[in-house]
Amino acid sequence: MRTETEPILAKSIETTADALVVVLKTGSVSIPWEKCSDRLKYASPLERSRAELSFSGYGIHWPLIDEDLAIGPLVRDYAET
């Protein structure tokens, strides 16, 4: 029997000097930049601050560095480390 899992979607996001904060309906997760991706690890504070959450809450886009991350894998991968 297969069980469906609810997708992990963000309600909002915040950027700080040290981390990406993903606000979920169950709470928030603060993910250090070095755990997000190499591009974000080495990006400037300005580049990081220009994050755009998709309308669906499924992904985040950083136009200044052309980086895209899906919320579900990002949160799951960080929770497993």
pLDDT greater than 90 at residue 25 = yes
Q: What domains appear along the chain, each with residue ranges and CATH number?
A: 12-80 (3.30.2020.40)
Q: Regarding beta strands 52-53 and 12-15, do their DSSP bridges make them parallel or antiparallel, or are they unpaired?
A: unpaired
Predicted model pTM: 0.89
Report d(CA 81, CA 69) in Å as an integer. Answer: 17
Report pLDDT for 5: 80
- Name residues whose C-beta falls within 8 Å of residue 10's C-beta, 6 or more positions apart in sequence: 22, 23, 24, 53, 57, 60, 71
Report d(CA 74, CA 55) in Å as an integer. Answer: 17
pLDDT greater than 90 at residue 51 = yes
Q: Which residues partner with 30 through β-bridges?
A: 21
